[in-house]
A and B are shown apart, each in its own frame.
Chain A
C-alpha cells in the first residue's frame, strides 16, 4: 500500500480535517506547560514495567535523550502542521519502535498515558468553554488514533518483510548447504587447473596475451562464484557469536581492508580513540565490508564513503554513508529481504546477511534518511552482563 493513500485514508476515516488541526494548535498553549509532567509520567510508567523497560537498553542517558525526542513529538502533535511530511516522520518513529522490538501492547498503553494526561489538562483548563474543549479533545483522540494506526501499519509492514526474509532464508538454507559444498570441489579443480596451466605456460615461455586474459577471467569468475557460495553457506548456518571488545578504529581498518575497494573510492573514518565496540569482529566485519562493497558498486567504483563509529549509552553505533545515487524511496522497505537485489550481478544476499548478523547481536541495521547517497546505521547493544535475565 502506498503510504500517501494510507495517511489520507485514516485521516478521512476518523474525520481529522483542517478544523481538527486548528483545534490542536489552539490547545497547544494550554497543554504545553504540562508537557514535562506528561513526559515524566510516560517514562516512569515504562520504567515500572519490565516488559516495556526491556526495550530501553541505554539506561538513564538514553531516557534523557528519549525524553527530549518525546517533547518534540508532543509539541509537534499539537502544533502541526499535520501535513504529509508530518505523517512520513511519524511513520519513521513507528519503525523505530519495531526495530527496538517494543511489543505492540506497549505502543497502545504508552499512548494511553499521553492521551489521558492531555485530555485531563484540557478538561480542567480555565476559561475554556465546553464546546471548544470538546472540539480539542476530539481532535486529540483522532490524531492519536491516527498515530497508532501508523505505528501498527509500519509494524505490520516490517514484520511481513521480516517473515518473508525468514522463510526465504530457511528455503535457501536447505539448498545452500548441499549445493554449496558440491560446487566448491569442482571450482577448486577449475581454479587449481588454471593455476597449473599458467605455470606450465611460464615453463614453456609462452607469453600469449589472449591466453593470459582467458586464464585471468577463469580465476576471477571462479572467485566470484566462490564468494556467492560463501555468502549462501553463511546464510545457511548461524555461527555462534564470539563477542570481544575491540577498538573501533582497528575494527573499521580491518573491514575496509577486507572490502578491497577500488583506489578511486575515498574512505573517511571517524572513530575517536577509546571507542570500544562489544561485537563479534569477524561476523560484524562482514556487515561493514558488504556495505562498503555495495557503496562502491553503487558509485561505479569512484566516490566518497564516510564511516563513523560512536557509543550511545550501552550501544555501539556505526554509520556508513556514501555519495552515490542512494536508494530509491520505493525500494527502501525491501532491500534487506533475501533474494531482493537491484544489481545486474548479484543474487540479493548481502544485505539479508547484514541484517541477520546484526540481529544475532540483538542489534539492527537500517537505512537512515539522507539527502544524498545511501546512509546505513548499524546499532549493536552490548552483551547483557552475565547473569542478567
Chain B
C-alpha cells in the first residue's frame, strides 16, 4: 500500500486518453486531475502543487516541456513525465532538458506506474 494519496495532474488534448490514464492511476491509489491543455493545467496546479505531472508533449498552445519549465519557474518542484508518440531526438531532448522523464506512446502503463512512484 502507498503511504499517502499522491496527487497527479494529467494533461492530454485527447480527453479519452487522459481520463483512461487517470482511471488506471486511481486504481493504484492516486488522486488525479485531468486537463486538455497546458493553459488549463496551469489553472489547476494549485497551490499546493501536484506531486506528479504527466503531460503529452504536443498540446494546442504551450507544449508539455514548456509547461514543465513553467512550473519550475513558478517554484513548483514536481516529478514530471512527458509523453509523446513523436519519439524523435528533438522531442526527447526537449523533455529531458526541461527536467522531465520521457515516456513514449503507446504508453507502457507498468512503466508509467513505476515513474509516478519515483
- Establish whether residues B20 and A192, one from each chain, have CB atoms under 8 Å apart when the complex forms: yes
Interface membership of A71, Cβ < 8 A: no
A189 with B20: in contact, given A184-B105, A199-B27 (CB under 8 Å)? yes
- Establish whether residues B23 and A196, one from each chain, have CB atoms under 8 Å apart when the complex forms: yes
- Establish whether residues A196 and B85, one from each chain, have CB atoms under 8 Å apart when the complex forms: no
Interface membership of A210, Cβ < 8 A: no
Sorting the interface of chain B by its residue count into under 10, 10 to 19, 20 to 34 or 35 or more gives 10 to 19
Q: Give the top 10 A-B pairs by smallest Cβ distance, nearest first.
A: A192-B20, A184-B85, A189-B16, A185-B14, A181-B85, A189-B17, A188-B106, A188-B17, A184-B105, A226-B106
Interface membership of B42, Cβ < 8 A: no
A178 to chain B, nearest CB (A): 11
**A164-208 near B? 1/0 per residue, CB < 8 Å:** 000000000000000011001111110111011001000000000
CA distance A226 to B16 in the complex (A): 18
A127 to chain B, nearest CB (A): 73
B42 to chain A, nearest CB (A): 22
Q: Can you list 24 A-B pairs with a CB-CB distance of less than 8 A?
A: A181-B85, A181-B86, A184-B85, A184-B106, A185-B12, A185-B85, A185-B105, A186-B14, A187-B106, A188-B17, A188-B20, A188-B107, A189-B16, A191-B106, A192-B21, A192-B24, A192-B107, A192-B109, A193-B20, A195-B24, A196-B24, A199-B27, A237-B88, A240-B89
Given contacts A189-B16, A192-B109, 19 further A-B contacts (CB under 8 A): A181-B86, A184-B105, A184-B106, A185-B17, A186-B14, A187-B106, A188-B17, A188-B20, A188-B107, A189-B14, A189-B17, A189-B20, A192-B20, A192-B107, A193-B16, A193-B20, A195-B24, A196-B20, A237-B88
CA distance A192 to B26 in the complex (A): 13
CA distance A196 to B24 in the complex (A): 7
A204 to chain B, nearest CB (A): 14
B115 to chain A, nearest CB (A): 16
**B106 / chain A contacts, CB cutoff of 8 Å:** 184, 187-188, 191, 226
**B85 / chain A contacts, CB cutoff of 8 Å:** 180-181, 184-185
**A207-248 near B? 1/0 per residue, CB < 8 Å:** 000000000000000000010000000000100100000000
CA distance A181 to B88 in the complex (A): 12
A244 to chain B, nearest CB (A): 17
**A94-127 near B? 1/0 per residue, CB < 8 Å:** 0000000000000000000000000000000000
Cβ contact of A195, chosen from B12, B89, B109, cutoff 8 A? B109
**B5-26 near A? 1/0 per residue, CB < 8 Å:** 0000000101011001101100
CA distance A196 to B109 in the complex (A): 12
CA distance A186 to B16 in the complex (A): 8
CA distance A195 to B108 in the complex (A): 12
CA distance A199 to B14 in the complex (A): 22
Interface residues in B73-109 by Cβ distance below 8 A to A read 85-86, 88-89, 105-107, 109
